[in-house]
Homo-oligomer: A and B are copies of this chain.
C-alpha cells in the first residue's frame, strides 16, 4: 500500500457508526491498562497566534502507537495522523486527518450518549450546525431510535442548509429551531458543538433526565455551559482528566470556584469498563465533556490501515 492516506480514502473507509465501535474498544483500553493516552500539548506556531498541537497514544494490545498533530495558524488548519507498528513493522501510515477528526469527534459523542443517556432516548437537540455538527447527529442517531432532532445555530441559513443536508442523509425528521430554548425543550440528549466562548444553553435548559455532550471547545477560552450549571449534573465525565485540567473551561472554572472538584469528574473509559456507574436513575442529568484524545485517532487510523492493507 501507499503509506499516504488521503481525505478521500478516509471518507470511503471510515463510517461514523463503525467508529463508535472502534472508540468503544479503544477508550476502554485506557481503563484496563491496555492502552495509553498522552494529553494534547501546544506550542506557539505564529506571532499572529495559532499553535502546533500534538497528542499521542499507544495501544500495545493492538500492536500500534501514533499521534495526531496539526497546525492552526494564518487561516489554515492541517491535520495529520501517524500510525506506527510496535511489532517491528515500522511506519504504517500517514493519514490526512481533517475528516478523521470530524468522524471520531462525532463518534465520541455517540459513544458517550450510548453509555450515559437514557436507553429509550427519542429526542436530540444539536446546538451548532457546522462541519462537526454533522457527525454528532449521525453518531448519536446510530445509537438510538430517535423520533425527532432539533437544530439551533445563530444563522438561520446555516441551520436550514444543515437540516436539508442531514435530513436527506439520515432519513429522519430534523427541525430547525428559532432559539436554543426551543431546540432543547423536552430533549433526552443535547449535543453542543460550537466554538462559542460563552454558554450556548442556559442553566434552565438543563432538565431532569437529559444527557449533554459538550463537544465544541477544546481550549480554556471556550465554554458552552456556565460553570454554575455544573452543580446541576448528577454525573460529570470527560475523555481525559489531565487534558481537561488545561483545556476544559467549564470544569477548570467550576473546580476553581469550588462548585465541584476533580474527584467528581470521571473518565468515560471507566464507565465503559464498568468500574463506575454513570447514570443511576432515569432522572439523572449527565455530562460528557469531549475534548478529543489521541487514542481515538489511532484507533480510527488502525482501522483505515487494516482496510487498505
Whether A145 is near chain B, meaning CB under 8 Å from some CB there, is no
Whether A38 is near chain B, meaning CB under 8 Å from some CB there, is yes
**Residue pair A58, B43 in contact (C-beta under 8 Å):** yes
How many copies of this chain? 2
Total residues of chain A contacting the partner, CB 8 A = 42
Interface centre among A65, A73, A84, A94 (most CB of B within 10 A): A65
CB under 8 Å from chain B, chain A span 42-59: 43-47, 50-52, 54, 56-58
Q: Which residues of B contact A4 (CB under 8 A)?
A: 3-4, 94
**Residue pair A90, B78 in contact (C-beta under 8 Å):** yes
**Residue pair B75, A60 in contact (C-beta under 8 Å):** no
Of the candidates B54, B60, B70, the one whose C-beta lies within 8 Å of that of A45 is B60
Whether A87 is near chain B, meaning CB under 8 Å from some CB there, is yes
Of the candidates B45, B63, B86, the one whose C-beta lies within 8 Å of that of A65 is B45
Whether A41 is near chain B, meaning CB under 8 Å from some CB there, is yes
Q: Which residues of B contact A36 (CB under 8 A)?
A: 43-44
Q: A52-B65, A54-B67 are in contact. Are A87 and B46 (CB under 8 A)?
A: yes
**Residue pair A74, B56 in contact (C-beta under 8 Å):** no
Complex: how many Å from CA A54 to CA B81?
13
* Chain A interface helix/strand/loop/mixed: strand
Interface 0/1 of A61-104, CB less than 8 Å to B: 00101110111011110101010111111110010000000000
**Residue pair B71, A44 in contact (C-beta under 8 Å):** no
CB under 8 Å from chain B, chain A span 154-180: none
Complex: how many Å from CA A166 to CA B142?
64
Q: Which residues of B contact A43 (CB under 8 A)?
A: 36-38, 56-58, 65
**Residue pair A87, B58 in contact (C-beta under 8 Å):** no
Complex: how many Å from CA A78 to CA B69?
18
Complex: how many Å from CA A90 to CA B96?
11
Q: A43-B38, A43-B57, A47-B60 are in contact. Are A52 and B88 (CB under 8 A)?
A: no
**Residue pair A38, B41 in contact (C-beta under 8 Å):** yes
Q: Which 7 pairs show the lowest CB-CB distances between chains A and B?
A: A52-B65, A45-B86, A78-B90, A43-B58, A71-B84, A76-B88, A74-B88
Instruction: Offer 6 A-B interface pairs, CB within 8 angstroms, sorted by A.
Output: A37-B43, A45-B60, A45-B86, A50-B86, A51-B58, A67-B69
